[in-house]
Amino acid sequence: MSILHALQGAPTLLIVCVLLFAEESGVPIPAPGEAVLIGAGLFVAGGGAPLWVALPAVFGAVCAGALAGYGWSRAIGFGRLRGLAVRLRFEGPFDRVSGRLR
């Protein structure tokens, strides 16, 4: 049995949801989130999971990841985040991005 046959159904959907949650919460992942979404679409189109199961699972993972990312960045605060950027010598890009967001 190949690994592709073993990753049918719930395990693959769980992996996709974990990757999307991590990407949305700010954890760097090896593949862009869009590539993971395309892979999830191909997974559903290939019959790996029904759309009515995959769509709410993926949507929930993305929304939960966005809320987690907002929560941890809000808890750290702007001052500490800027202090970290100064220590890592990224204060220029940090100031540009924060200026655009304001």
User: What does the pLDDT look like over 40-85, one tens digit per residue?
Assistant: 888 888 888 888 999 999 999 999 999 999 998 889 888 898 888 8
Phi-psi region of 22 (alpha: psi -120 to 50; beta: other; left: phi over 0): alpha
Q: Looking at this protein, which amino acid is placed at residue 68?
A: A
What is the tens place of the pLDDT at every residue in 12-42?
889 999 999 999 998 888 888 889 889 888 8
**Could you give the CA distance from residue 44 to residue 60 in angstroms, rounded to a whole number?**
16
State how far the Cα of 95 lies from the Cα of 97, in Å rounded to an integer: 6
| CA–CA distance, 80 with 75 (Å, rounded to integer) | 10
* H-run or E-run covering 1: none
